[in-house]
């Protein structure tokens, strides 16, 4: 990307990973509340912008897309993002296209321009967040991570269990049965996935035939 744009990219970082943030905040991130977004993305970026990018001379470009096949359109998030990044001006180039493209089309265009997308897309993930171990992902995303990167899943499972030992019955995921929601741990998800792959057990015919 840097070579394509002819620019030197500036990387800003907090220095922690999401699990360290959860430990520090005594809160396990999930699809509803993810403190990692605030502490690892928003705060470092705002600090850098405040020091280096005067609002009256800067525009923030955000990569929300208008994929017509998406279940939850990115456009619904635009208003909140504009409000959250005041006083800077925010633009969404992909939302402004006259003929919106699907995510697959955008990735194909990226490759055609010589920009190889992150490997997570080739692994079947809809986003390239946290190596697939994004707490905002649902059960399907975590099953995918277990299938293609079991080592990363195992690390996330261990970290979730560590936080459960500190915080009680919490989990990244939730499961609803009979209108009652409860924490659904990564260990439970893995056990279900392993059971589904196991061959059926032999059961002798009680008639003896």
Mean pLDDT of 174-183: 92
Q: What is the pLDDT of residue 103?
A: 86
Strands 173-177 and 180-184: antiparallel
Q: So where are the chain's domains?
A: 11-197
Checking if the pLDDT of 73 tops 60, the result is no
Q: CB atoms < 10 A from the CB of 71, how many?
A: 6
Report the alpha-carbon distance of residue 76 to residue 160 in Å, rounded: 31
C-alpha torsion sign, points 141, 144, 149, 150:
positive
pTM score, whole prediction: 0.85
Instruction: Judge whether residue 201 has pLDDT over 90.
Output: no
Is the confidence at residue 204, as pLDDT, over 80? no
Q: How far is CA 166 from the centre of its chain?
A: 24
Res 198 pLDDT > 90: no
Residue 67 sits at the vertex; the CA angle it makes with 66 and 73, to the nearest 5 degrees, is 65
Tokens linked to 175? 């499961």
pLDDT at res. 5: 86
Q: Indicate if the pLDDT at residue 56 is higher than 70.
A: yes
Tokens of 73: 């359109």
Which helix (H) or strand (E) element contains residue 89?
strand 89-91
Q: What does the pLDDT read at residue 166?
A: 97
Query: Residue 114: what pLDDT?
Result: 92
Decide: helix, strand or coil at residue 151: helix
Is residue 187 within 8 A of residue 195, CB to CB? The reply is no
Give Cα 112 distance to the centre of its chain.
25
The answer to whether the CB of 198 falls within 8 A of the CB of 191 is no
How confident is the model over 11-45, as pLDDT tens digits? 999 999 999 999 999 999 998 999 999 999 999 99
d(CA 132, CA 143): 10
pLDDT tens digits for range 114-156: 999 999 999 989 888 999 999 999 999 999 999 999 999 999 9
Q: How far apart are the first and last CA of the chain?
A: 68
Residue 120, classified by CB atoms within 10 Å of its CB into exposed (0-12), middle (13-18) or buried (19+), is buried
């Amino acid at each position: 990307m840097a070579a394509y744009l002819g620019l030197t990219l500036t990387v800003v970082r907090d220095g922690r990973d999401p699990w360290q943030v959860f430990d520090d905040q005594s809160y396990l991130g999930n699809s509803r509340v993810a403190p990692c977004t605030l502490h690892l993305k928003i705060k470092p970026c705002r600090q850098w912008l405040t020091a280096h990018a005067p609002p009256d001379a800067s525009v923030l470009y955000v990569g929300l897309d208008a994929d017509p096949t998406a279940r939850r359109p990115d456009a619904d998030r635009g208003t909140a993002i504009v409000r959250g990044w005041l006083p800077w001006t925010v633009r969404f180039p992909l939302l402004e296209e006259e003929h919106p493209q699907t995510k697959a089309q955008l990735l194909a265009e990226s490759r055609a321009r010589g920009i190889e997308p992150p490997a997570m897309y080739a692994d079947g993930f809809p986003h390239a967040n946290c190596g697939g171990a994004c707490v905002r992902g649902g059960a399907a995303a975590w099953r995918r991570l277990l299938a293609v990167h079991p080592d990363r899943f195992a690390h996330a499972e261990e970290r979730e269990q560590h936080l459960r030992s500190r915080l009680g019955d919490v989990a990244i995921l939730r499961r609803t049965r009979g209108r009652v929601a409860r924490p659904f741990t990564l260990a439970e998800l893995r056990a279900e996935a392993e059971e589904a792959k196991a061959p059926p057990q032999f059961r002798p015919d009680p008639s003896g035939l």
